[in-house]
Structure 1
Amino acid sequence: MSSNSFDSGVPTFRPQGPSPNVRLALCVALAVFLMVADVRFKLTEPLRKAVATVLYPLQWVMLQPVQLVNQGATYFEDLHTAQTAAASAEKKSVELAQRATLVETLDHENQRLRQLLNLLPRLSTKGTAAQVVYETADAYTRRVVIDKGELANIQRGSPVMDEMGVLGQVTRVFPMSSEVTLLTDRDQAIPVLNPRTGARAVAYGDPTTAYGGGIELRFMPSNADIQEGDLLTTSGVDGVYPPGLPIARIIKIERRADSPFSRVYCEPLAQMYGAQFVMVIDPLPEDALPPRPAPDVKKQEGPSSTPRKGKRG
């Protein structure tokens, strides 16, 4: 056997076919093609559904121990929270019972004092429940629309309040809906009373205040007895709002040396943004307030024009 036959049969150790770089490029191109095809044509969606269906029982079995542990921990936490809430509710119910007894006693005393002093009885007003449908699209006003109108005997000027306090006033009435102007509207004003001091004032809407929109007491003297945290209620002097309805709390007082008046910022108690259910208070009847005194005719006519009789000689 010749040596040439051995030379031609020597095996080689170099890899055959494309180089590694070419194969990597082909794999990358194939992967990009499959991703684009999956996004565009959802080619692997049936395969994913099948795999998810097959693996769901296994996932459910593996998640059961974790859910049992979580539910056990949540059960004990909820039990502790419920016991704490029950104890707090029982304590609060005792306090409310004592307060209700005191309020009832004070109410009887108030009625007797009013009868003794011959004062007018407290006004009792009725209301109509309504739901806020939407807020108006005007960016320069603060108004909402409710789902009750003339068919529900809603009248223009009726006060509107939620469970926390006065929300605004009905300014437009339609057959099936009404428009309510909120207290934070720049054109809205309401007489207020400070129950702590008995001082009366007028609150104006201030939607541009730095505190996210509220109301402001204007023309308050710098030496007025007002404090942060004071509650403001309706005074009832305007004949529109029944007295005693909560309105706002004073949150900031700015006293300036260069002005005899201080700026008083108040935060409304009612939910001005996001209120869902409201109560429309019926307007006060005409005979609810005492009649205004008749003007003095003699003062309006002025001094008498008849000549004064002179002395006879």
Structure 2
Amino acid sequence: MPLGTLDRTPPPFFKQGTPARTKLWVLSVLAVLLMVVDARLQWTAPLRSGIAVVLYPVQWVALQPVRALQWVGAHFTALEAARRDAQEARALLAQQAERAGLVEFLTQENLTLRRLLQLRERQAPTAQAAEVLYTLPDPYVPGVVIDRGSLHGVALGAPVMDGFGVLGQVTRVHPATSEVTLLSHRQLAIPVLNTRTGERYLAYGTGERDMPALTLRFVPLQTATAAGDTVVTSGMDGVYPPGLPVGTVSEVSADGGEGFAHVRVEPSARVRDAQHVLVLRVTLHSTTGAQQEGRP
């Protein structure tokens, strides 16, 4: 074959075309131009919205396996938590049933002894339910506002508790609302009784907002109080009825200063997140009829 008949043009694969550097500059300028136009005129916003609408079904379908796995995991986790809570509730119910029977027996025995000795019966507190509206904004005075006031019979100084223990005391009463100072306040004192040792002390708040606690003041270094002891109201002040749960001793050390021990008490009440409370009203229980029935 003659040489002149061969095609001397290179195949398209080896053609260089526009230099790569020129393409880079052109595309860069075009990208900057599009960004400026988009920032000024917002032309691409409808385009993004349309793409998002088109891709939403695809995204929804792609997320379903992940959501199904999350749902299955959450279901089994909740099931296990519910089973564990049920076991704890049954154990606690058995303990409470045993204690309830003992309390009923001791109450009847105490009533009989008081009748024999012709002593006045203890004051029986009555309570009305209230709901916590909000927390006081004052960082130096831990307190809450409840939805009961003077129109509902709330009195100044009335003790307040939640379903677990003493929460605080009413310090300001309005017609429809009242302010409750929490027991974690530094200047709020509660006379307490150690149910194990019978020791009586004054409990003061530590003022801590993140970890509310109480301290027992004037506790001697030779005290029998130990960690785990339960303290309740002693009723010596005439404000708090005796026997209300206050807290549990969490720490006893000899570094309290001035010859006294340092005793820290964790409150029984949910000081930080209480939602429903009881406002107590201490009234004298009439015993005339009961005494007449108990006497010959």
Q: TM-score, normalised by structure 2?
A: 0.77
Distance 1:90 1:248 in 2: 23
Q: Is the 8 A contact 2:129 2:276 kept in 1?
A: yes
AA of the residue aligned to 1:113 = L
Distance 1:266 1:20 in 2: 77
Distance 2:220 2:147 in 1: 42
- Cα gap change, 1:25 to 1:272, in 2 (>3 Å): farther
Distance 1:36 1:276 in 2: 54
- RMSD between aligned residues: 3.3
Mark the runs of 5 or more structure 1 residues left unpaired by the alignment: 1-8, 289-313
Question: Matched residue of 2:21: which SS?
Answer: helix
Q: Percent identity?
A: 44
Counterpart in 1 of 2:275? 276
Higher Cα Rg: structure 1 or 2? 1
Question: Matched residue of 2:145: which SS?
Answer: strand
- Cα gap change, 1:175 to 1:255, in 2 (>3 Å): same
Offset, 1:36: 5.7
Distance 1:181 1:34 in 2: 62
Offset, 1:156: 0.7
Offset, 1:255: 1.1
Number of residues of Structure 1 aligned to a counterpart in Structure 2: 275
Question: Matched residue of 1:224: which SS?
Answer: coil
Counterpart in 2 of 1:3? none
Mark the runs of 5 or more structure 2 residues left unpaired by the alignment: 1-7, 286-296
- Cα gap change, 1:263 to 1:276, in 2 (>3 Å): same
- Cα gap change, 1:124 to 1:70, in 2 (>3 Å): same
Question: Matched residue of 1:219: which SS?
Answer: strand
AA of the residue aligned to 1:163 = G
Counterpart in 2 of 1:157? 157
Offset, 1:234: 0.9
Counterpart in 1 of 2:291? none
- Cα gap change, 1:108 to 1:223, in 2 (>3 Å): same
Question: Matched residue of 1:126: which SS?
Answer: strand
- Cα gap change, 1:162 to 1:30, in 2 (>3 Å): farther
- Cα gap change, 1:246 to 1:42, in 2 (>3 Å): farther
Offset, 1:159: 0.7
- Cα gap change, 1:84 to 1:217, in 2 (>3 Å): closer
Q: Is the 8 A contact 2:212 2:271 kept in 1?
A: no
* Cα deviation digits, residues 86-132 of structure 1 (max 9, x gap): 45544544444344333333332332233233333232211222222
AA of the residue aligned to 2:115 = Q
Q: TM-score, normalised by structure 1?
A: 0.73
Distance 1:15 1:174 in 2: 88
Distance 1:92 1:258 in 2: 39
Q: Is the 8 A contact 2:232 2:246 kept in 1?
A: yes
Offset, 1:149: 1.5
Counterpart in 1 of 2:288? none
Distance 1:92 1:251 in 2: 22
AA of the residue aligned to 1:240 = V
Counterpart in 2 of 1:218? 217
